[in-house]
Amino acid sequence: MTALEHSAEPGYDAAVVDLLGAMACAELLAFERLAYDATMAPTIDDKAELARMAVAEFNHHTALRARLVELGADPSAAMEPFVDSLTELHRRTTPADWLEGLVKAYVGDGLAAEFYREISRHLDAATRDLVLRVLADTGHSSFVVPRVRAAIAADARVAGRLALWGRRLVGEIMTQAQRLAGEREALASLIIGGTGPDGRDREGIDLAEIARMLGRLTEGHGARMADLGLDA
């Protein structure tokens, strides 16, 4: 594990492999679901926009996979623990139509970006660089905003339905995230900065820090719903 040579803590190395495995798996499934949702596009140009976003997710997957290989980990084994719960998350949040697909793409892209920003604060330099590179390449979902706003302008009832959908999405995502955090303690500890590359280990999870992070994520989600013209 040459790339983690500054790590003073074996728990940190395992947690980083877990984190990269979770991200690589999430990006691959995001690719797959966005590509599937693109089948509902009303025009060929809309289809191409969502497809472009899917391709960006796949490129992130490829970068994360390469980093796992660099760390001496088996990417397939690193992703495996996350396949079922992330597949289940997508199954529970399958959009019923194009507009629900757009809102999911926007909300999901935004939450992923914030998650990457949060986690980057607790990582060794090489892993942080990768996460920030992936983060810099998110935001392909801005095409969603005028489309959702136009749909609401054309039919105000759409706003109520999509607001409900947005709340359902964030609820399902938070539920699965909590379930995963319970199952993968080292990963959860890494995410909130309890396990660091400096060997610092606060022994257990800081509940106040979790609450602050959830607060920031919820606030960001509210801002994105507002972008779309929706109540959070």
Residues 100, 166 contacting (CB under 8 angstroms): no
Q: Which two tokens stand for residue 213?
A: 């992070």
CB of 179 to a second copy, least distance (A): 19
Identity of the residue, 56 or 170, whose beta carbon is nearer to a second copy in the bound complex: 56
How many angstroms separate the CA atoms of 84 and 161, rounded? 28
| Helix 144-154 with 157-183: angle, nearest 10 deg | 140
Identity of the residue, 35 or 181, whose beta carbon is nearer to a second copy in the bound complex: 35
Identity of the residue, 95 or 166, whose beta carbon is nearer to a second copy in the bound complex: 95
CB of 54 to a second copy, least distance (A): 7
CB of 166 to a second copy, least distance (A): 25
Residues 135, 113 contacting (CB under 8 angstroms): yes
Identity of the residue, 50 or 159, whose beta carbon is nearer to a second copy in the bound complex: 50
CB of 74 to a second copy, least distance (A): 10
Residues binding a second copy (CB under 8 A): 25, 28, 31-32, 35-36, 38-39, 43-45, 47-48, 51-52, 54-55, 58-59, 61-62, 65, 75-76, 79-80, 83
Place of tokens 């709340």: 167
Q: Which two tokens stand for residue 43?
A: 């025009």
Residues 33, 17 contacting (CB under 8 angstroms): no
CB of 227 to a second copy, least distance (A): 26
Q: Which of 30, 141, 25 is nearest to 83 (CA)?
A: 25
Identity of the residue, 83 or 210, whose beta carbon is nearer to a second copy in the bound complex: 83
CB of 142 to a second copy, least distance (A): 18
Identity of the residue, 4 or 54, whose beta carbon is nearer to a second copy in the bound complex: 54
